[in-house]
Structure 1
Amino acid sequence: MSIAENLALVRHNVDLAVARRREAPVTGPLVKVVAVTKNHSADEVREALAAGAAALGENRVQEATAKAALLPPAEWHLIGHLQTNKVRQAVPLFTLIHSLDSEKLALEVERVAAKAGKRQDVLIQVNVAGEDTKSGIAPGGLTDLARLVSGLEHLRLCGLMTMAPFYEDAELARPVFRELYGMYADLKAAALPNTAIEWLSMGMTNDYSVAVEEGANLVRVGTAIFGPRHY
């Protein structure tokens, strides 16, 4: 199948997952698919854009910068861990940073965004499953970090992100998604100042349908759109 056909199938599966929701989540019925371009060429990404990809996701700042230079303007999302020494390159490029996970990183993004005259949209990444190999703040630290971010003039907190453990059976990831949805609902209800809580980023190729059923409205899908990665 072509990239365009794959993207259409992912969107169809998202629509089916929305229809299977047991109740209407506070995230609403609209779901944005972020096409993850990691280890895929600029030509492949161009095909996805031509097929109507709404947003592009990249794990590494350097790879996104190189591809963006070869492509028409697009909505780029940083979905991988952001090191503080890469913030200066990240802020000008990314519409949304999914992976804010510490006070130190928040303050550095604030500093760089202020210098650039930009208000940077961010999500807080939560390590719901407590995996040592995953980035993200522990659930117990979410409230304090959210309050800190809400007080920063050049950041706008827009929601939460998590990465579930990889399971062959995607159903096993459901409790992780359900727990983050609960945190998201609480954060939205808290109505912190200077925030715009609208995005719940969870679900990848192997489990995005389950994530959408549990309320995700941003899914990060690479292999199901582009095929296996080129290493």
Structure 2
Amino acid sequence: MIRAAIKLVSLSVGKETFLFIMCSMSKISDRLKQIEENIACACARTGRDAGKVKLVVVTKTAPLASVKEVIELGYTELGENRVQRLKQVAQEISEFLGEGNSKNAGPGKVNWHMIGHLQRNKVRGVLKVSSIIHSVDTLRLAEEINTMGGKLGIKPDILLQVNCSGEPQKYGIPVGAATHLAEQFVSMENLRLTGLMTMAPLTRNKDVVRTCFVRAKELFEEIKGQGLVGAEFSQLSMGMSQDYEIAVEEGATILRIGSAIFAG
């Protein structure tokens, strides 16, 4: 995934001139390389295929130039947690890709993930930009997505956000109510329930974090095992900058990483 910028440097010694190929790698590319290595190691520890783990680069605090750099490095799964920022950055990146494509040198299509809390009155704007919404945690929100999907002629992917930590300040449906809500989502014609999303507590206690992720994986398997969902129910979005290795060990298929890439 990581591509280095290459430049030729000449060095003269007497009458001889030598050309050296020098690779310059930014801090962002270095961090991405380290994250990829950490993901691979976590997969190796648990017998998983690293190719089954998708890295979503969360761009919420990143300058536009840094977002462009990430795309040029080959990372096209991007996430935002605020609707206005999502629409703004998506528009600027669309223009950037259009310029690149006109020169036959542009990166591939970007897939935008809406990962933050979403209000029903902002669903239409998000669906025009985002290919998947991670943060669906109420029936009314899903109904709005379903209605708007029908009007726009699309069938967006959604994830059911579950509060596996039990923290009152966090969004997400309680674990005990998740299966019933998932069943209601599946009955809707203009959306696809493709998995679950959760957030671990912000703590240095790895056991607490792991317990949260273990519960999410158990719930994921419970819902699948009851035959309520189809083959498309295959994604488990959990793990951020501070805990993504534990998430991989416990079965995450989507990681949402931002500060570890842009802030170090």
The one-character-per-residue Cα deviations of 1:170-228 (angstroms, maximum 9, x if unpaired) are 34300000000011112222333566111100010000000100000101000111116
Task: Give me the whole-angstrom Cα distance separating, in 2, the residues matched to 1:39 and 1:164.
Answer: 21
User: Contact conserved, 1:150 with 1:195, CA < 8 A, in 2?
Assistant: no
Task: Give me the whole-angstrom Cα distance separating, in 1, the residues matched to 2:143 and 2:231.
Answer: 16
Superposed counterparts of 1:60-71, under 5 Å:
60-71=82-93
Tell me which residue corresponds to 2:16: none
Superposed counterparts of 1:33-72, under 5 Å:
33-71=55-93, 72=97
Task: Give me the whole-angstrom Cα distance separating, in 1, the residues matched to 2:174 and 2:113.
Answer: 22
Give the number of the structure whose residues are more often strand, by fraction. Answer: 2
Superposed counterparts of 1:1-231, under 5 Å:
2-21=27-46, 30-71=52-93, 72=97, 73-192=109-228, 196-227=232-263
Task: Give me the whole-angstrom Cα distance separating, in 1, the residues matched to 2:123 and 2:112.
Answer: 15
User: Contact conserved, 1:201 with 1:218, CA < 8 A, in 2?
Assistant: yes
Tell me the CA shift for residue 52 of structure 1: 1.4
The one-character-per-residue Cα deviations of 1:116-154 (angstroms, maximum 9, x if unpaired) are 000010000000111111100001111111111100001
Instruction: Choose between structure 1 and 2 for higher RCO, CA contacts under 8 A separated by at least 6 residues.
Output: 1
User: Contact conserved, 2:198 with 2:238, CA < 8 A, in 1?
Assistant: yes
Task: Give me the whole-angstrom Cα distance separating, in 2, the residues matched to 1:196 and 1:15.
Answer: 25
Task: Give me the whole-angstrom Cα distance separating, in 2, the residues matched to 1:191 and 1:3.
Answer: 42
Task: Give ranges in structure 1 of 5+ residues lacking alignment.
Answer: none
User: Contact conserved, 1:30 with 1:217, CA < 8 A, in 2?
Assistant: yes
Task: Give me the whole-angstrom Cα distance separating, in 1, the residues matched to 2:250 and 2:186.
Answer: 26
Task: Give ranges in structure 2 of 5+ residues lacking alignment.
Answer: 1-25, 98-108
Normalised by the size of structure 2, how large is the TM-score? 0.81
Deviates most, 170-179 or 151-160: 170-179
Alignment-mate amino acid for residue 43 of structure 2:
V
Bigger radius of gyration: 2
Matched-pair identity in %: 40
User: Contact conserved, 1:170 with 1:206, CA < 8 A, in 2?
Assistant: no
Helix, strand or coil: the match of 1:93?
A: coil
Change (3 A) 1:218 1:140: same
The one-character-per-residue Cα deviations of 1:85-115 (angstroms, maximum 9, x if unpaired) are 1101111111110000000101011111110
User: Contact conserved, 2:87 with 2:129, CA < 8 A, in 1?
Assistant: yes
Deviates most, 186-195 or 97-106: 186-195
Alignment-mate amino acid for residue 147 of structure 1:
E
Task: Give me the whole-angstrom Cα distance separating, in 1, the residues matched to 2:203 and 2:73.
Answer: 30
